[in-house]
Amino acid sequence: MPEESSKKINLPPLITVKKFSEILNLPVGAVITELMKNGILATINEKIDFETASIIAQDLGYEVAEEAVEIKDGMTLEKLLDILKQEKESGENLRKRPPIVTILGHVDHGKTTLLDTIRKTSVVEKESGGITQHINAYQVKKKGQLITFVDTPGHEAFSAMRERGVSLADIAVLVVAADDGVRPQTKEVIEYLLSKKIPTVVAINKIDKPEANPQRVKQELADNGILLEEWGGEVLSSKISAKQNIGIDDLLDNILLLDEVENFKSDWKRDALGIVLESHLDPQKGPVATALVKTGTLKEGQDIIAGKTFGRVRRIENFLGKRILEAGPGTPISIIGLNEAPSSNEVIQVVTKSTAKAMSHEARKGRYGEVSENLSAQKIMKTIADEKIKRLNIILKSDVQGSLEAIEQILGEIKSDEVAIDYISTGVGNITETDIRLAESSNAVIFGFNVDATPVAKRMAQNTKVEIKSYKIIYELVEDIKNRLIEMLPPEIERTDFGKMKVLAVFKTGKKDMIVGGKIISGKIVKGSLMEVSREDNIIGKGALDNLQENKINVDECASGKECGITFLGETKIKEGDVLASYKEEVKKKTL
């Protein structure tokens, strides 16, 4: 029996059954047996998540210790921008750094192809559906000078991510296709560039196309507030063909020219401050944050926080995946060592070890509770406001934070007073047994984007009949959710009135049928239609018209002013003077 002090254990977010048994100081078989008692089938080398391991450990008499702590106020994007502004104004310890450039424009105007040509790598082919779905950063060298490029998604659904890319950049390259001109999305970007006064270079792309019309593009840009240098304005422009590698050198020269004018500098000596561009869970490396150092120098071994995540920098990699020991301002990097994948736009700051540890309690709570907790509060308020709304419970898992934001943004555009989405949980990383348990208890469907379910989670899902849907294209995932919402919409019954007749005589009264005669007072009476019985302007019953006769001859319909005899099917007992309305009802499926 282990001593009391040794029964306190610390557990990582994911752990193999073998490692778990070593921490518990128990035979692997005993741990596997305990897992099976809880309905979890896991082999020795398979991973289980923190919550599962924690439950098993507690069942076995162990205490799962959490490092209790106070939280230091995190650095916000606004605070960072203020620091950068003050740094620039003070002029102390400032040294030249690479300019940060973002490429913006309408979807299909060639932004990613342009970056491919500049970097001599291929990104388009790796992206499902040919649309850049993540944000990323790269560096190139021109005339011995480094330029950092931040790649932002181009589809209209990613406007929030696109705006984020702009906010990070020193210089924007606005790509406009020579054969297509200024489109609505281009106008949206122009408005943002002008409002934020971001130095801009225009790249008129696809000039190799026969239908290319650069003059029209220049005119449309002028109409929208971008006056090019050759037209007497201040905005530099380059005619390019990203596909044919035409004019790329000229574009890079213009970027360096703007860089020379603006003279971007930062303090290299201070502790680093950076921005998380993207994050994901790597099966081997664990949480990986792609970040951009805005000021200061980040070094391997330093303790950092980013929002509610914390950790020690175990490894820094440049955009090519090569290990570097430190990264200065304007450098795009991958950071390995955080306790979980941080949200995009979180500010990374270097802190003392005690402050980093102080994040433990809140970070762990956030991983399993925070999103669900907030959304549950919203759900309760919504339920109180309108209990008639049918709700689709979903658990959403994605490979990276940016995709999660994009999916929620697109789904947020679905408006309905009758159906709604309830996010039971959202998160980055593979689908685990915790997600399965949550889906089972809340009757939710699990949707994964670019992620898989762990083997343990797959078996649990099969046993508990939890539905898991995985997608590699965002719009296919969104379409599935939208179709499910449509299926939940109550059908719409559309009524078409034909006419009315007044009952003048009752010829036969049966248990469930009657034969009556009368005069048509409006419209027409149609054989096979539904009938509504009114007495003194009050509806007293409904039925159907089985047979219709005019002058004792069977007919399909009888017009206004004529007399007819009908066979009425229904339990309502009709009397002379009643009015019968002939109508039909069609069930129509609603859509969103």
Does the structure show a pLDDT above 90 at 86?
Answer: no
- pLDDT band at residue 167, thresholds of 50, 70 and 90? low
Using CB atoms within 10 Å of the CB of residue 510, give its burial: 0 to 12 exposed, 13 to 18 middle, 19+ buried.
exposed
- Domain 386-488 shares a fold with domain 492-588: no
- Residue 448 pLDDT grade (very low, low, confident, very high; cuts 50, 70, 90): very high
Q: H or E element: which one contains 476? A: helix 474-488
User: What is the per-residue pLDDT across 379-396, written as a single tens digit (0 to 9) for each?
Assistant: 444 444 455 678 899 999
Among candidates 50, 9, 15, 54, which has minimal Cα distance to 34?
54
Sequence-ordered list of residues with C-beta below 8 angstroms from that of 263, at least 6 positions apart, any chain: 96
Residue 537: CB atoms within 10 Å: 6
Q: Classify 98-263 by CATH class.
A: alpha beta
386-488 in CATH: which number? Answer: 3.40.50.10050
Q: For residue 168, give the amino acid letter.
A: L
Q: Which amino acid is at 552?
A: K
- In total, the chain counts a number of residues equal to 592
Q: Encode pLDDT of 533-580 as tens digits.
A: 999 989 999 999 999 999 999 999 999 999 999 999 999 999 999 999
Pairing of strands 553-554, 309-318: unpaired
Backbone angles phi, psi at 458, to 5 degrees: -60, -45
Nearest to 566 by CA among 514, 530, 520: 514
Give the pairing type, strands 236-239 and 538-550.
Answer: unpaired
Confidence class of residue 67 from pLDDT cuts 50, 70 and 90? very low
The helix (H) or strand (E) run that includes residue 50 is helix 50-59
The residues, ordered by sequence, that sit 6+ positions from 384 with a Cβ below 8 Å of its Cβ are: none
First to last CA, the chain: 62
Give me the CATH code for the 492-588 domain, please. 2.40.30.10
What pLDDT is attached to residue 495?
A: 92
State pTM to two decimals.
0.58
Three-state secondary structure call for residue 590: coil
Q: Which of 462, 408, 410 is nearest to 440 (CA)?
A: 462
CA dist 138 → 135, 262, 291, 330, 459 (Å): 11, 21, 11, 10, 40
CA-based nearest residue to 330, from 291, 286, 293, 280: 293
Write the burial class of residue 324 (CB in 10 Å: 0-12 exposed, 13-18 middle, 19+ buried): middle
Instruction: Look at residue 501 and tell me whether its pLDDT is greater than 80.
Output: yes
Coil, strand or helix at 458? helix
In the predicted structure, residue 156 carries a pLDDT above the cut 60: no
Q: Which amino acid is at 75?
A: M
Phi, psi (rounded to 5 degrees) for 30: -65, -40
What's the pLDDT tens digit per position in 283-305? Answer: 788 888 999 999 999 999 998 98
Q: Which tokens belong to 289? A: 């944050």
Express each pLDDT in 181-196 by its tens digit: 888 888 888 888 888 8
Give 85's contacts (C-beta < 8 A, 6+ positions apart): none
Domain ranges of the chain: 4-64, 98-263, 386-488, 492-588
pLDDT of residue 549: 94
Q: In the predicted model, what is the mean pLDDT of residues 345-365?
A: 66
